Structure 1
Amino acid sequence: MNWNSLDASIAPLDLRSCLISRHGRMEYEHYRNQRTATDIAKINSCTKSVLSALICIAMDLGLVPEAETAAADFFPKLASDPDPRKRDITLEHLLTMSAGFEWTEFGGRNSFPRMTRSPHWVDFVLEQPLAYAPGTRMEYNSGISQMLSTLLTEATGMPTARFAETKLFGPLGIEAYEWETDPQGVHAGGFGLRMRPLDLLKFGQLYLQRGQWDGRQLISPERVERSLRPALPSDSHRQGSYGWHWWSDSYAGDAAPDRASLALPYSFARGYGGQYVYVVPDAEAVVVLTADQGKKKQQPVDVFREHIAPQLAQMSIM
């Protein structure tokens, strides 16, 4: 496939990187400059999908219990809370962000910025009231991701980043990274990871290959499938549905309603400021986009849906 036309489309956007691989081979590779190719940079909430992978690996190893387990087994404050509904929160609810906490992520009384200014991030989350019954609504919440990172640290007996080095980054050949921690030294579950674009591509390829890498099954196919499977529609973002800390959507282009079967499904990790990892099974493709949109007062462009998905959709039906 010739992607030369993509150069002109993305040139005005000043992306940090745009990588496209198909069938495990790089087909398009663009960097703002050579330093962008080698420097680590913030991936923001794409961190959540990396954390999801680590939780799945820990479940496969029997270190973290099954998703139906009560979260109160790890967080006793949930069991002692005056609201009995908190006892019903499960690991599944944490992974799908449907625990029911009253949360406004980017502003207001219960929010991600206020959490990061508190002395104990997880306690801040646990103390929030419930706005919904667990499992009934997805509400985007980086505090829940911090709960999962804390849980992983407790269950594995090692820091989240160390577990990643042993079970995920090491096998994928990812050596250059940085990961922020909370005041208790727990690695941030919802943000704070810095990686290189090529390493993000490896991460996406792992999911395209249903958890297999160089002949090793790093994540069981069943947990990969469950992670990417839509669990609840998103009330917090325009696009798609939410699985286990992964987004999902489909692209139908100009297809008429009666041609919905031609829609191209995809899953993606998404980070503030234009960080994306797309996994497109029907096109055997992985797409990585990194940008600095958070620093610029410009109308964000959906590069994937406007410039890449139309070509991938065409390939998938050829």
Structure 2
Amino acid sequence: MKILPDEMLDQLSVLLEGFEQNAVESMVYVKRTQGWTPETIAARFSNIEPGLLKRYFQPRYSTVRPLHFIAAFSWITMLPMTSFYRGASVREEFRGMDSSAVEALINIGRMPHEQFDVVLKCIHLYLDDEGKHALDTLAQSLPPLTNNIDTEYAAPIVIDLKTFGDSYYRALAKYGKEFRSEHKLSKSTMAKVLGLSPYSYSVLEDEDNPQPLSILVGARMKLGFQLSDHFSFTQHMIEYSEFHKFRGEQHVRDMLLVDSLRRLPKKQKPYVIEIIKGVATAYANSLTA
């Protein structure tokens, strides 16, 4: 684990200006790309006013969208949280993320295991021997992908947002305390990296009083500590524990896809992205045929 130095944390604050707005625009893009309507989205959530749910997808709505809602939306759309970095000025350059990788992540979201496996094998064909060996080594080091992402780990028909949110923030509180203890970090250091006041950070660690957080906090945690995933954030979820298992499968997909694209020859990447889009579109169309 590496903490960004102070000057880079200051730069991160600048780069993350407008991040929440970009995340909203990404949600709208995903909604349109996957064919969601206000009615089909509303049918998937309970314990939220329909009017508020609609406003969450309106870019001009200035109130912060809570992190747990974006997490729940990522679940029903089957996308990793990094998909919502689309259009943002900050990229996860330390692991090879760029705009094409984000676009690919959005398109592989709802692919079943078999289609995703086809996409990976297709990319593998375009890698040189060194790239193939590196990707094979990475795949062997990760848990094997299964069909569970399409079945038992998939989002339930209806998500109770109040229950989901409370479970999510309690898990985040426990993870924050464990992370801070493991790496011998002070509360003030955690607060600084996350862009919070010391009081707000203390609230974040309070398991008995779960409070909504902004997506900006999750992004700063991941980028400020240069973490490879959001997967660990949810490991202590009790209610909706299958969400963490889903995140685990998504994390493996994320790692394999991003590393594959990072090793592609630059001139080949646009064509491979189009192949990914084609497979995703073909599968989506098969559901409505």
TM-score tier after normalising by the smaller chain length? under 0.3
Higher relative contact order (CA 8 A, sep 6+): 2
The structure with more strand, counted as a fraction of residues? 1
TM-score (norm 2): 0.28
TM-score (norm 1): 0.26
